[in-house]
Each structure stands twice: as structure tokens, then as C-alpha cells.
Chain A
Amino acid sequence: MSAHQHVEGHLPHEPEKATLEGRNKVLGFWIFLGAEVVLFGTLFSAFIALRHQVLDGPHPSHLFELPMVFAATMILLTSSLMSVFAVQAMHRNKMKALIGWLFVTIILGLAFLGLEIYEFNTYVSEGHKMNTSAFSSSFYTLVGFHGAHVAFGVLWISLLIAQLFKKGLTVVTAPKIYLSMIYWHFIDVVWVFIFTVVYLMGKVG
């Protein structure tokens, strides 16, 4: 049950849930993600309510470049898979593999962010700005909120990699890794909805 039984480098089976503190963190974080679902749900509702108010701005069917967005989607989905491998490595207590998978995860996250910044830049140059229309405002707010979550995740996981080097994999660091990985999956799930509701629905109607 407690930490001291495992100090000699033998981590318990699920180190993220080995202490009460760890269990609290995992549960609290799931509740937090519940709140995040509501947050994004509201952003989606606002977007769906306003998405036809294009005014003089470019229409989504002309604006969106699906191939690039599809590439971004695949990159983010792959990074989510990498984070699964990271947690598996953690459960097998393989530090090097864990750090490697985390590293790939954030590299892919950065690639996604790069594409998104490029995409936003292109849109702005085509006259699709924050203040163009209700469609553009709700688009940038929804997709931007998601992008900010990705950026925060990249910073967070980078910090955790540094902590792994310094502190090793312990019952203190394991819950942190685990939480950042569920967070990363959550971001990925949100993106699947954004890809469908914003981009695909924008293309067809």
C-alpha cells in the first residue's frame, strides 16, 4: 500500500494509484475533465449556433483546407497513441522507454501546433479574422481554446520529462505522468469533435 515498501526501485503495479494522494489526484483529474467537457460543450454550442453567420468573410467551404487539417488530425491521433505507449512503459517501470515515448508525444504535439499556427495565419491573410463575423469569432475561440490546451500540454509534459530525469519514476512522479496522459487523450478526443463539427460540417454545409 504505502510508498516505503517500494523504495528500492521496485514500483508497485500501478504506481499512479499506489498512494492515497495518487488516487485523489487521478479521481480529481477525472472530475476536472468532466468540467472541461462542459467547457468545450458550451464552446461547441456557441459555434454551432453561430456558424452560419459568415457575413462578408470567406465561407468555410472555401476557407478550410481539408488535407492540411487531416494531416494535423493524424498527427494528434498518433501522438495520443504514443502517450498510450508511454503509460505502458511506465507500468513496466521502463524509464528510458517512458521518456522516449513522452518525447515523441510532445514532438508530434508541437508539429500539430505548428500546423495550426500556419493555418490560422493563412486564414487571417484571407480575411477570416477574429472580428470578421460571428462565425469567425466562435471558430477562433473554439479552435483556439483547443490549441491553448495543446500548448499547455506540451509545456506540462516537457516539465515532467525534466522531473523524470531529476527524480526518477516514483509514486510521486507516476501520478503526474498518468494525469498528463489522460489530459492528452482528452485533448485528442476534443479534436476529433472539432474535426467533425467544424471542418467536415463546414465543408458540406
Chain B
Amino acid sequence: MATHAAHAHAHAHTHTVKRYKGLMDWLTTVDHKKIGILYLLAGFIFFLVGGLEAILIRIQLMKPMNDFVAADTFNELLTMHGTTMIFLAAMPMLFALMNAVIPLQIGARDVAFPFLNALGFWTFFFGGLLLNISWFTGTVPDAGWTSYVPLAGPTYNGTHGVDYYVIGLQIAGIGTLLGGINFMATIINMRAPGMSFMRMPMFTWAIFITSVLIVFAFPVLTVGLVAIMFDRLFQANFFEVGGGGNGVLWEHIFWVFGHPEVYILILPAFGVISEVVATFARKRLFGYSSMVFAIVLIAFLGFMVWAHHMFTTGLGPVANALFSIATMLIAVPTGVKIFNWLFTLWGGSIKFTTANLFAVGFIPTFVLGGVTGVMLASAPADYQYHDSYFVVAHFHYVIVGGLILGIFAGLHYWWPKMFGRMLNEGLGKLTFWTFFTGFHLTFFVQHFLGLLGMPRRVWTYLPNQGFETMNLISSIGAFLMGIGTIVFVVNVIIAWAKPRNAAADAWEDGRTLEWSIPSPPPEYNFKQIPLVRGLDAWWKEKMDGKTAMTPAEPLGPIHMPSPSILPLIMSIGLFIAGFGFMYQNHWVAAGGILVTFVCMFLRSVYDDHGFHIDPEEEEVQA
């Protein structure tokens, strides 16, 4: 690293790069911290949109034979709710935490590919925008988030609805894949000296494995979407039975992607919970190496279980039995994690901050979702549960009760690090109790609705089947979750108005490197790259009586990548091309693709020399 500084001196005088301010700064930024905030903002807006769709669904189902929305609209709502929440809300909010935290936790100045990081954000954003523009053009995807054929094929879905789904998700998927590659490379190559793999914080481990899953799962979805797109736009026959196509092939392709996707969603939450529980129990994480092993094993098994979504498709008893057993196996490493969190809390001097409340609330909630998961894994029983509200209850317990509680825990925990301001604890606890209570009210009763025989994805139901009371309770719970979310927004707005005065080690018990630098960190994160001397690097230094990390390099000018508008324009090009393909206007499609290619050309031809920041000079100026 010493040579790095020398290198910097050699070039420090040669390049001056234009720095932007205000809006242009946000449109051109390649700083992982700002990109994290962009992900959070966009992801949270989509979260509100998806939440609104959920509330409309629950209003429709509040009483029997309701006609609050039309049946067609209901199909559109449930499709867009699922698609938005998974691809445009949950994943971006995870990417927000990854971006905000990972480089700081591993003692790096940025990710491996800052430009690609910005490109990933903008492709996600414009993919999501394209998908949601369908509400304004009047043809909304309505074949469910799983988009099963032949329902999603051209024969039964002649309008442009599903086109928005396939093209929007392809564009957004580029961003996700880029993110996965970027974070894998970052974590392998950019760790501070001394941080071996088995000294990485648990959240970093979780994101590392999540990135592996993204890299190996998302291309499968891309191919599936391309195949549906070709069927719809070019009269191909992948899934058209009349042309020799095969509908079950789509189910396989979708779930070979779809099941790892579930772990892409939940593993980061596991990582967050591990950090929060250890920090606020003020104990080292119990069973660190078994936690690492469990996460790797869950990811591995996650690729082996896709057909448990297809037990009733008719794959035969042998396939069903094998996928049953493989699915049940996942309960073992997951159980390891649950017990490790409990043992971390055991005997600790626990602080029940909002973040920790969410984490502690996560544990039993996720166990409930896991137990119903094992129930569903039993193929014969699944014939009874299949396509009923029992399944809806199960996956909301793991996704909302797991992932969303995890994201809320992470947001409350890292908010001071991201923004330099503490969220109000009182309002935070109000968020927790309303959201948590609302969540269980909404979804606990849905287990029983499913067992009573209420099918999922139905527009309405008849009276006197024993569905009324539980549906009403479920809808009331949904409103309560909405209120919890609004309280969170209020909390954020109040925090915004307050001065930026969060301490570097905002919770005083921080264990990992991000708490050793100011909140929010300077543009270059670390004035000097720290030397890591053990697991929980910052905690170890504090226990040794130090007030700062030992630096691993001398002070010197720091090389930074230049901001660039190209990622935004490239994504706009894809966005335009998407509409061109959809409405079969080949000039528009070619024009959009051309914009993207010209940007790639410019990026390749003009070398980015970056610029240098001298931390000492900055301090003098300040």
C-alpha cells in the first residue's frame, strides 16, 4: 500500500476532475455510500408502492363478495405487489445496506468497480420504472409474480402486460447481476491487511455468499425471461404447447432461479441480525465458524430444492421424495443459526434498542416461517397446502417476518453511520410494536384460512365459509403495518431536521470497522487503511485500550474514481430500447441500444484517471 501512496504523489498534480454539486452530484456519483442512499430511497419508494398494493388487496378481501376493485385489477395488484416487493423493494434495500456497509466493514475505500456500481443502481431503477409505467399505459402484468405459462404466454395474455414484466425485470436484473459480481470481487480482493476470510464480520460473510447466489441464479431468470419474450414478440415456441413447447420447462427455469432468490433475500437479513444481536448483547457472536458454515451450506442446498415449488406438477414420487428430503435438510443449518443467536443473547447485558427489538422479534417470527417451511417440504402434505393461504402465510413469515424485520433492524442500526443522525428511539419502538403486531395479525390467521381451504390469489369469497372473521383480522393487521411504516417515515423526517451529530461509534458497543470512522464517513472512508488484528477488529482495539485502529499505511493523497453520467445514460438507453421492443418499433429499439453501446464505447476509450484527495489538506481547510 505504500507504493500506492507513492503512485498517488507521482500523478497527484496531473489530473483535475470536475466535481458536481446538488442533483448532478447524485446523478453522477460512483461513491458506494451515496449509491447506497440512492438504493435506499428508490427501494423504499417501491416498498411504499408495493405496500399500497397490499393494502388495496386487503381492503378487497376484508369482507365476502366485496367489489372494491374489479377482478382484473385484483390480478394486476397481486402480480405487481409480489414483483415490486421482491425485485424492486426488498433487493434494493438489501443493496442499500450492502453498499453502505460492506466497504466500511472490510476496511476498503470503495467497491472493486465503482462505475459498475452506479450502473447497477440505474439499470435497477429504470427497470423498475418501466415495470411500473404499465399502470399508466393501462396494460399491467397480471399473471402473478411467477408469471406461469401458458397464462403469461401470447395465447392467454395478448396485451402488453407481461411484456412490461419480462423487459422490466431483464433491465433490473442486469443491475442485480452487476452488483453480485462487484461485491464478490470487492470482498475477495479489497479486504484490509490482516482481515482473513475467517475474520470477516458476519454481515460481510452473508453478503459474500448472497453475491455468489446472485451470480449463479440470476442468469437463469434472464434466459427464462428471454424465452417468454421471444414467445411473445417473435412467435417462438418455448412454452407454446401447440408448437412443441413445454410449460413445465418454465416452472423449472423459474424456480431454479426462484429458490436461490429466496436465500438471496434472507441471507443478508441473517447477517444483519448477527451484527445487531452481538452488538447489543455486548458479546462476541456465539459460534462464528458454525455460522459461516451454516450460511455456506444453506446457499449450497438452496440450489438443490427448487422442485419443492412443483410437488403438485406431477414429477413423480422419486423426484418429490428427493426434493422433500433436501428441503428438510435446510432446517439443520438454519437451526444452527437460530441457536447461535439465542446463545449470543444468553448471559449478555442486552440493550433493547429499536434495532435490537427488530432483531429479537425476528428470531421467533422466522422460526414460525421455518416450521411451516418444513411442513410444506413434506410432499404428501403439500398436496393439501398447495395454492392455499397457508403458503401465503408461510412465505410472508419468512420474507416480511425475516427479511423486512432484518432490513428494519439494519436501517435503525446503521442509520447513524449512513446519515450521521440518530433516529428517535421512542418513535423507533413505536414502529416496531405497530409493525410487529400488525404483521402477526395479518399473517398468523392466514395459516388457518389456508387450512380451512381458502385458495390464494382469489379476488373474493362467498360468505358463511368461516372465512369472514379471519380475513377481517388480517386486513386490520395490514393497516397496522401501514401505520408502522408511516411512523418510520415520520421518524426519518424528524431525524432529517436535526443536526448531524452522531458519534463515530454511535452505539458505543460497535465491534466492526465501520464504527472506527466518523459518521457519516468521509468520501475516502479511511484516512489510512487499518490493520486488522482479529475478529471484531474494532472491539479488539477498544479492549486493548486503543482509541483508533492501527494504520497499515502512511498518510498520503488518496486516489478516487471520477464521477460519471454514463451509467445513467446507459440505463436510459436500455429503458428506451425496452419500449421499442415492446411496441415492435425497431427504430426506437435500435436507437436505445445504440445509446447504450455509445456509452460503453466512450467508457472504454476515455481512461478514467480519477483524482486525488489529500486528507491532511482537507483538515487544514476545514
Interface, chain A (partner B; CB < 8 A): 1-5, 20, 23-24, 27-28, 31-32, 34-36, 38-39, 42-43, 45-46, 49-50, 53-55, 130-138, 140-141, 159, 163, 167, 172, 176
Contact = CB atoms under 8 A, between A and B. Distances in A.
Contact of B189 (A27, A35, A134): A27
Contact of B237 (A5, A34, A131): A131
B315 to A, nearest CB: 14
Given A130-B236, A137-B236, A46 B244 contact: no
24 contacts: A1-B4, A3-B7, A4-B6, A4-B7, A23-B189, A27-B189, A34-B215, A35-B216, A38-B216, A38-B217, A39-B219, A42-B223, A46-B238, A46-B253, A53-B244, A130-B234, A131-B235, A134-B240, A134-B243, A134-B244, A135-B244, A137-B245, A159-B601, A176-B604
Given A2-B3, A28-B185, A46-B249, 4 more contacts: A38-B215, A42-B223, A49-B249, A53-B244
Contacts of A39: 219-220, 222-223
A133 B224 contact: no
B605 interface: yes
What's the dominant secondary structure at chain B's contact region? helix
B219 A28 contact: no
B609 to A, nearest CB: 9
Given A31-B181, A46-B223, A163 B604 contact: yes
Contacts of B246: 49-50, 53, 134
Contacts of B235: 130-131
A10 to B, nearest CB: 15
B113 A28 contact: yes
Contacts of A167: 607
Query: Which has the most chain B C-beta neighbours within 10 Å: A1, A50, A53, A159?
Result: A50
A134 B189 CA distance: 44
A8 to B, nearest CB: 13
B188 A133 contact: no
B330 interface: no
Contact of B223 (A5, A20, A34, A43): A43
A27 B604 CA distance: 18
Contacts of B601: 159
B134 to A, nearest CB: 25
Contacts of B217: 38
A159 B606 CA distance: 12
Given A42-B219, A130-B230, A130-B236, A31 B185 contact: yes
Interface string B199-219: 000000000000000011111
Nearest to B184: A31
A141 B226 contact: yes
B399 interface: no
Given A3-B7, A42-B253, A137-B230, A53 B223 contact: no
Given A130-B234, A130-B235, A159-B604, A50 B244 contact: yes
B182 interface: yes
A193 B326 CA distance: 30
Given A4-B11, A55-B244, A163-B605, A28 B182 contact: yes
A35 B230 contact: no
A63 to B, nearest CB: 15
B426 to A, nearest CB: 44
A140 B226 CA distance: 12
A65 B222 CA distance: 31
Contact of A32 (B181, B188, B256): B181
A195 B441 CA distance: 58
A4 B14 CA distance: 13
A140 B182 CA distance: 31
Contact of A133 (B180, B227, B243): B243
A32 B223 CA distance: 15
A81 to B, nearest CB: 25
A134 B237 contact: yes
Interface in B221-265: 222-224, 226-227, 230-231, 234-238, 240, 243-246, 249, 252-253, 256
B40 interface: no
Q: Which 4 pairs across A and B sit closest by C-beta, in order of nearness?
A: A53-B244, A134-B244, A137-B236, A39-B219
A159 B605 CA distance: 8
Which of B219, B243, B244: most chain A Cβ within 10 A? B244
Contact of A50 (B112, B222, B224, B245): B245
User: Looking at chain A's contact residues, is the secondary structure mostly helix, strand, loop, or mixed?
Assistant: helix
Contacts of B219: 35-36, 38-39, 42
Nearest to A30: B185
B177 interface: yes
A35 B212 CA distance: 10
Interface string B321-353: 000000000000000000000000000000000
B177 A35 contact: yes
A172 B3 contact: no
Contacts of A132: 237, 243
B497 interface: no
B620 interface: no
A24 B230 contact: no
Given A2-B7, A4-B11, A24-B113, A138 B238 contact: yes
Nearest to A43: B223
Contacts of B231: 137
Nearest to B116: A28
A43 B230 CA distance: 13
Given A49-B246, A131-B235, A134-B243, A20 B177 contact: no
B376 to A, nearest CB: 26
Contacts of A53: 237, 243-246
Contacts of B226: 141
B318 interface: no
A1 B185 CA distance: 20
A20 B605 CA distance: 20
Interface in B151-191: 177, 180-182, 184-185, 188-190
B10 interface: yes
Contacts of B189: 20, 23-24, 27
Given A34-B215, A35-B218, A172 B607 contact: yes
B237 A35 contact: no
A135 to B, nearest CB: 7
A132 B244 CA distance: 9
Nearest to A44: B223
A137 B3 CA distance: 55
B175 to A, nearest CB: 13
B244 A54 contact: yes
Contact of B243 (A4, A5, A23, A137): A137
A70 B603 CA distance: 37
Contacts of A163: 604-605
A167 B605 CA distance: 10
Contacts of B182: 28
